[in-house]
Amino acid sequence: MSQDQRLSQTCELKVLGEPGPVLRAAFPEFELRPDQGMTLLSGDLVDQAALYGVLERINSLGLELVSLNRVMDDDDT
């Protein structure tokens, strides 16, 4: 399946700071895991607009984005 045909893609975003109630409330669609003083958010984004929405929430909360990665699945190889 090509990238254009996919309805969603799994992404991992890493932000500075530990997961807590504010992050869990702000990002209910993501799984949050602590990662050496940071929080790893992983979940599916349906399109670029969804990605920009997540980035806007990160910005509005004053969080520092450390990394953003698309997780490759078996169909992408």
3-state secondary structure the chain: CCHHHCCCEEEEEEEECCCCHHHHHHCCCCEEEEECCEEEEEEEECCHHHHHHHHHHHHHCCCCEEEEEECCCHHHC
List the domain range (segments joined by +) for residue 46.
8-20+36-72
Is residue 50 assigned to a domain?
A: yes
Is residue 27 assigned to a domain?
A: no
Is residue 29 assigned to a domain?
A: no
**How many structural domains are present in the chain?**
1
pLDDT band at residue 5 under the 50/70/90 scheme: very low
Is residue 28 assigned to a domain?
A: no
The model's pTM: 0.81
Is residue 30 assigned to a domain?
A: no
pLDDT in tens, 40-69: 999 999 999 999 999 999 999 999 999 999
